[in-house]
Amino acid sequence: MTVRRALDRVYGAAAWMAALFMIGTLVMILLSIGGRLLNFHVRGTDAYAGYSMAAAAFLALAHTFKRGEHIRVTLLLDHAGRGGRHILELWSHVAGLLCAAVLAWFSVRLVWQSLQFNDISQGTDATPLWIPQLGMAIGSVIFTVAVAEELIATLRGGKLRVRTAADEAARSE
């Protein structure tokens, strides 16, 4: 198995986890609504819905990025020409990698500090905060790897994902 295939499996697994967390968000919301209708209360449903939503968003970053589904501003790219487009792609991947790496660093650091200080949520559920923060940390680390992989492919002269404005419009319909 090549490294690229292994990484694609990691991105896919993270996407599946994101989907499960989306289902978790739905379950928490339905439990909260059902509780109001049937006069019972489950502590922490609002907090757990938020934790699940955040985990889903971060775990889906790499898979979405690798599929070319993140929003791109193609106004400059469409008019840059092949050489200019390559330079802009390199610049955007370097800038993206720096931003992703900073996000990953601080996300992992936040989990570590929450674990060290035994930080707990202020809601009635009193959840240790490092647990829900793991989704953000893992997702941002996987996203950083995905951006680095794309940068390396671009540096090696790999095929650029060239999309025109017409392609973008067709995808959004």
Which pLDDT does position 42 carry in this prediction?
87
pLDDT digits (tens, 9 = 90+) for 12-25: 999 999 999 999 99
Q: What domain range is 66 assigned to?
A: 3-172
Cα R_g (the chain), whole angstroms? 20
- Longest Cα–Cα distance of the chain, Å, equals 65
173: tokens are 């319909």
Q: What pTM was computed for the model?
A: 0.86
Q: Which stretches of the chain drop beneath a pLDDT of 70? A: 1, 73, 158-173
Question: Which residues, 6 or more positions from 103, have their beta carbon under 8 angstroms from its beta carbon?
Answer: 140, 143, 144
**Residue in the block written with tokens 């992992």:** 108
Question: Which residues, 6 or more positions from 32, have their beta carbon under 8 angstroms from its beta carbon?
Answer: 42, 45, 46, 49
Which pLDDT does position 53 carry in this prediction?
97
CB-based burial label for 83 (10 Å; 0-12, 13-18, 19+): exposed
Which amino acid belongs to residue 88? L
DSSP letter at 73 equals -
pLDDT digits (tens, 9 = 90+) for 23-61: 999 999 999 999 999 999 888 899 999 999 999 999 999
The count of structural domains within the chain is 1
